[in-house]
Structure 1
Amino acid sequence: MRFFSICSVGCILFLANLTAYAQQQTTREGLTSDEVVARSGVPASAVAAVVNDAVVTTYDVRQRMRLMLISARGQIPPEAFPQLQAQALQDLVEEQLKIQETDQFEVTVPEREVDQELTVMAAQSNISLSQLLESLKQTGISEQSLRQQVRTDIAWPQLVQGRYQDRVRVSEDEVETTLERMREDANKEQFLLSEVCIPVDNPSQAQQYYQGGLQLIEQMRRGVPFAIVAQQFSACTTAAVGGDMGWVRAGELPPELDTAVRELPVGSVTNPIPSEGAFMILAIRDKREAVVPGEPSFTLAYAGADASMGGNAARAALEKIKTAEICSGSNLRIDLGEGVGYSYLENVTLGQINEKFRPFIEDLSRGDQSAVIEDGGYYHSAYVCDKDEGLGLPSRDALENRIYSRQLSRIGRQYLRDLERESMVDIREENLQPPNG
């Protein structure tokens, strides 16, 4: 089973000393951490941290570690468990800060949205929501623990966007400059990349962040897959999909990253590279020549339904592709139903599409959906998110959205850092037992 747990912003486990949170000595109500613990009713020995007027228990830490281990399919080596524990605690501290801030601004997440997100997690593991919840129960994980994590992951971006979207300005010049650079490099290689992002919140500690990045690379050398490291330790939004950036065109990355991926062979992992206020670690999974100029390429939202569900039910499910937000490249927002799989296919040429389906795709334009085709025991349909007539470049809208999301994410990281500085956070390391295998 695979859970796509969203790593909290800045959750690089050993890059920051948890006891180094710069905190007030009392809450806004004037309570000390001991008074908060006494009021909570939780035994002092079971408190892992106090975050303003809330406590994080050692039970919470163990629950989060179990979720991480399931997400990693047990591929985290035992020697990394102390680091995993540290990350789990830091993740929970940041989660509490986010919960308190979203509560203050009355950001609510309907339970149906949490259910939708859990349904997506289940679908990506080819199981139903009920099977997912039963699996949690069998492994000793509280359903509420996962629901709280998902709820916070939905609410926090909504708060950041609601408060700061007016500060984000993506100019036409910025989009055009990026597109022009990509046009110039259109006949050069494309790279299939994955990323781990390590935000450098305090420039004076840059060397510590760099060393932390090297420790992550060392874990990969010992056999921990890059995708697992990204899921658990990256602060980028791609952490949810194992750091997968998809195919990136030459010139699309900042120059310092672009140079590195051009020079390294397939299968390489870069050292931490300083870029835009963070250290970036990139994995070069594959390289390919650019799309031949003049050959159309498509960005498709594809869905396939098992023929056993029947033609009418399959067609009804596949009709939802247009409104399921697959084109955003993010998690599905509308459940297509059990037995229906989906994919986001970026910049594929007709030659890369099964010849049986090419006639149904080649004449479509942006916003068109193909007919439903039955073949090989499945019903198939594809929706054209975008179409490029020659260079394989993303649309202006898609590129603007990428730049916007990157800028908003940077603001969100700073927002959280500001909350940390203004808050009382008391880490009680003496209550944390060394994790065992």
Structure 2
Amino acid sequence: MRLRSLTLACSLAALTVSSSGTLALAAPHHTHSAQGKTAAPQATQPEPDDMILKIVNGVPLTKRDVDNRGKLFALSTGLPVNPELMARLRPQIVRQLVDERLRTQEILSRHINVPPEQIAAAIAGIEKRNGMPENALRNKLAEDGVSLTTLIDQIRVQIGWVQVLRQELGARGRVSAKEIAQREEALKREDGRTEYNLSEIFVKVEDPRHSEEELAFTNTIIQELRKGAPFPIVAAQFSESQTALDGGSMGWVQEDELDPAVVNMVKQMPVGAGAISNPIMVPGGFVIVTVNAKRVIGHQPGHVASIRQAFLPFDAPLNPAQVTPQQQQTLQKAVHLAQTLSSCDEVAAVNKQYGEKRPTDPGELQLERLNPQMRDLLLSLPLNKLSRPLVSTDGIDMIMVCAKKEKNFADRAPSEIADQLMNERVEQTARQLDSDLHRRAMIVDVHASKHKGV
């Protein structure tokens, strides 16, 4: 686990369930008959969905809440919903939902309100990071029978918790120019050493003497990641570090910022291959890491391009054997635009005209990190010249390069250093406040004999 800073970006990279636990996929409600309490039916009768597992400062946590979180995890990662997976996830889900209840109560006690605009921006961030067109996330949830409200509620809690931490920091919530300069000098002394771009999932251990449950859960998560579950989604749902707010991304870190056990692991792991580490024991719990990139501090030359794109959507998925009139007209329009557009502003205007189904400006692109086809296209494309129409099943994309330049990606802007320093303080504050909330809380374990939770 990282010992310093953790990113506070609220562009969640995952589908998460609400703290209220309401979910359209909840199992049908079951009730126990007061008259049929014979031994045989009691053994086979399913537990009712509204069975209370814990009471957190007077607020119940039910079986339905736990089941909903597990189902949403399975749906959002493409895994089958089966009793075995749900059973393995259950103890950790209970612990995390207790944490969410405590955080929600703290947010309410401070009268913190999260504007709808922030929630909408966070959802748009999810779609952008996962390459989804606008409103695709809403449609995916609807297809899976999950109410969008569950996602909205969860985002509200996570953003509200960030505001709680800012309040806790108070005057320490600002980084001075002197502190930035000191960190810049420290980085210069690190010149030539290796640093890593990592993502993490941190699983907290309540009692180090009895960590069997947490280790079993960590191994379950590793198994699902290695089967293909998206790391950002799993991190956003289950990591108990502040990096969960950014899909587990830790950004660039040096070896002295990491626990020695993590350093030993990442040195042995392949870079950028999606490899998932074994469980790593660190102070406070277990951590899972993946190595996104590696570089030498102060030396990472590369090339970047600024582009604009226009996307012309089809009215139906393209079938090459049966092209619709609208699709033919769209292709003709794209060919005409390729011959007439000569500026990035014109491309932006066209994309807006067609509803901005894809972002006009996807941000600065590092060519070395693009797939070979896209990299070759951008390298060969002259400035202010529209690309040939790029046809896909849902429409036609056209790209124009506005600028190209060389860049040393190892250079850190003052704003990046300020973020790192602030995140260090936020992480320390978050852990302390979580600990305080648990210490002051009244948590009643209603079904302790059946459900071992927090």
TM-score range, shorter chain: 0.5 to 0.7
Q: 2 CA distance for matches of 1:410 and 1:317? A: 47
Q: Which residue of 1 aligns with 2:287?
A: 280
Aligned partner of residue 398 in structure 1, secondary structure: helix
Aligned partner of residue 290 in structure 2, secondary structure: strand
Higher alpha-carbon Rg: 2
Matches within 5 A, 1:17-96: 46-74=51-79, 78-96=83-101
Deviation at 1:374, TM superposition (A): 4.4
Q: 1 CA distance for matches of 2:402 and 2:241? A: 27
Q: 2 CA distance for matches of 1:7 and 1:302? A: 36
Deviation at 1:297, TM superposition (A): 5.2
What amino acid does structure 2 have at the position aligned with 1:254?
L
Q: 2 CA distance for matches of 1:172 and 1:431? A: 53
Q: Is the 8 A contact 1:296 1:350 kept in 2?
A: no
Q: Which residue of 2 aligns with 1:339?
A: 358
Q: 1 CA distance for matches of 2:109 and 2:442? A: 16
Q: Which residue of 1 aligns with 2:348?
A: 315
What amino acid does structure 1 have at the position aligned with 2:14?
F
Deviation at 1:234, TM superposition (A): 1.5
Over 3 Å counting, the alpha-carbon distance change for 1:206 and 1:346 in structure 2 is: farther
Aligned partner of residue 375 in structure 2, secondary structure: coil
Over 3 Å counting, the alpha-carbon distance change for 1:175 and 1:424 in structure 2 is: same
Moved more, 70-79 or 109-118: 70-79
Q: Is the 8 A contact 2:168 2:429 kept in 1?
A: no
Q: 2 CA distance for matches of 1:407 and 1:65? A: 32
Q: 2 CA distance for matches of 1:93 and 1:174? A: 40
Over 3 Å counting, the alpha-carbon distance change for 1:253 and 1:379 in structure 2 is: farther
Matches within 5 A, 1:14-413: 46-74=51-79, 78-123=83-128, 124=130, 126-129=132-135, 132-167=137-172, 171-172=179-180, 175-176=183-184, 178-185=186-193, 188=194, 191=196, 193-199=198-204, 205-206=207-208, 208-209=210-211, 212-213=214-215, 215-217=217-219, 219-221=221-223, 223-225=226-228, 227=231, 229-239=234-244, 242-245=247-250, 248=252, 251=255, 253-254=257-258, 256=260, 257-266=262-271, 267=275, 269-274=277-282, 279-284=286-291, 290=296, 293=299, 295=301, 298=304, 304-308=309-313, 315-316=348-349, 337-340=356-359, 354=375, 357=378, 373-377=386-390, 378-380=397-399, 390=408, 392-413=410-431
Aligned partner of residue 340 in structure 1, secondary structure: coil
Over 3 Å counting, the alpha-carbon distance change for 1:255 and 1:45 in structure 2 is: closer
What amino acid does structure 1 have at the position aligned with 2:108?
D
Aligned partner of residue 194 in structure 1, secondary structure: strand
Corresponding pairs, count: 364
Aligned partner of residue 267 in structure 2, secondary structure: helix
What amino acid does structure 2 have at the position aligned with 1:405?
N
Q: Which residue of 2 aligns with 1:325?
A: none
Q: Is the 8 A contact 1:8 1:91 kept in 2?
A: no
Q: 2 CA distance for matches of 1:239 and 1:198? A: 11
Residues 152-174 of structure 1: CA deviation (Å, up to 9, x unaligned): 11211012113324235752465
Residues 43-73 of structure 1: CA deviation (Å, up to 9, x unaligned): 9963333222433333333332222222221
Q: Is the 8 A contact 1:182 1:393 kept in 2?
A: no
- Give 5+ residue unaligned stretches, structure 2: 1-11, 20-47, 314-329, 338-344, 391-396
Deviation at 1:7, TM superposition (A): 8.9
Q: 2 CA distance for matches of 1:272 and 1:342? A: 39
Give the TM-score normalised by the residue count of structure 2. Answer: 0.62
Q: 2 CA distance for matches of 1:356 and 1:230? A: 34
Over 3 Å counting, the alpha-carbon distance change for 1:306 and 1:416 in structure 2 is: same
Give the TM-score normalised by the residue count of structure 1. Answer: 0.64
Q: 1 CA distance for matches of 2:446 and 2:346? A: 54
Residues 379-414 of structure 1: CA deviation (Å, up to 9, x unaligned): 447899xx9854723223212202312320331232
Moved more, 248-257 or 69-78: 248-257
Residue identity (%) = 19
Q: Is the 8 A contact 1:214 1:272 kept in 2?
A: no
What amino acid does structure 1 have at the position aligned with 2:132?
N
Residues 104-125 of structure 1: CA deviation (Å, up to 9, x unaligned): 2111112233233334434536
Query: Could you say what the CA RMSD is over the residues aligned between the two structures, in angstroms?
Result: 4.7
Q: Which residue of 2 aligns with 1:33?
A: none
